[in-house]
Every structure is written in C-alpha cells, then in structure tokens.
Amino acid sequence: MVIFISCSTKTRTLENKITDVPLDNKVFKNKMFFESELFNQIDTNTVYKEEFGYQSKKNSFEKINNLKEYQNRSVRGYYRFYSNGCVNYFSFQDFDEITFSSLAPNFNGQRGIIYSEENVIKLDLFTIIGYSFKRDYGIITSILKVKGDTLFEKKLTNPSYVNVYVRRKIPKEFLIYKPDW
C-alpha cells in the first residue's frame, strides 16, 4: 500500500542535503496505534542491519526457495527504533562505519513509525515513491515479523519479497538522539 501525499505535504531537507522529511507529522496518522509492548520483541538500544532478502509466498514470510539475494550489495539499510514508536531508516555504504553523527535524525535518515494493527506489526516510512517533475513522496507500509535477533520486512508494494535485518549493537552514546516526529 502506498499513500500518495506529495502534493499536500511540505518537506524540509535534512542537514545531509539529500533526505527530505515531512514538515507536518500528521502524515504519520497511524502513530496512534503504537503500543509499547512491541518493544518486547524489537530492541530500541540497537540498529537492525539489512543482510539479505529472499522470495516469499505472497501472503506469508515463508521462503519459496533457499536463494538469498543482496549478499554482495554495497549499500545496506539500517533501522533504528525509538521507544515512542518512531523509526529511522538509514542507508550506508557497506564499508562505512556507523558514527555518532550519522545516526542524528536531523542530519540523516528517512522517518517512519511502528504500530500494531490486528496483531500485525506494521511500519509506515515516509520516502520517495516516484518521480514526476520532482521527487514524489508518500508512505510505504511494511509488515514486520521478529524472530530473536532478526527482523523480517515485507513491503506491501512488493508482497512477494522479504528483506532480512539482523540486530547490531551500537555504543550507548549513539542512543541520545530523540525523534521529533
């Protein structure tokens, strides 16, 4: 599911001069469905690093085959979850070291929220959904499944594919940033 909101949502560019985020946080309308119990499964004191992906059945997380994709990809995605239901999605070169400032929400990272709907963990991410005369922004919704240190993400725009993220520790001083959305 993609919610097209580019015409009605004003954005501002973060300090990295690349990423645009919404000025009005009302785009995260599902934040009212956030439940703190979600963090019994998801660790807010770490990041989740994208490791690989696989083809799945459309309505499940079950693998179609044993092939793993993205293993040699140079850019990796990372999710950082905050205790109030906010989420940041960061992209780094695989050889880049995560630094204190690279996790600053005012410098870098696409914004989103996590919530529960009918006992399903969902994530709404404000991101580029296309290009017309300029970047078109919208919300892309994903379904998440957590098993131990691993987070499985299935975007509703591509329900036959699962991205796999593994929990990675970060220094405690990297955890001071507070989301403002």
* pTM for this predicted structure: 0.87
3-class DSSP state of 24 = coil
User: With 60 as the cut, is the pLDDT of residue 4 above it?
Assistant: no
Number of residues assigned to the chain: 181
User: Does residue 80 surpass a pLDDT of 70?
Assistant: yes
Predicted local distance difference test score (pLDDT) of residue 5: 46
For residue range 137-158, list pLDDT tens digits in order: 899 999 999 999 999 999 999 9
Tens digits of per-residue pLDDT, 83-120?
Answer: 999 999 998 876 667 888 888 888 889 999 999 999 99
Q: What is the rounded distance in angstroms from the CA atom of residue 168 to the CA atom of residue 171? A: 10
pLDDT per residue as tens digits for the range 123-140:
999 998 887 777 788 999
Q: Are 88 and 179 in contact (CB under 8 A)?
A: yes
Mean local confidence (pLDDT), 9-37 = 87
CA atoms within 13 Å, Cβ hemisphere of 166? 3
CB atoms within 10 A of CB 119: 5
Give residue 96's pLDDT.
Answer: 67
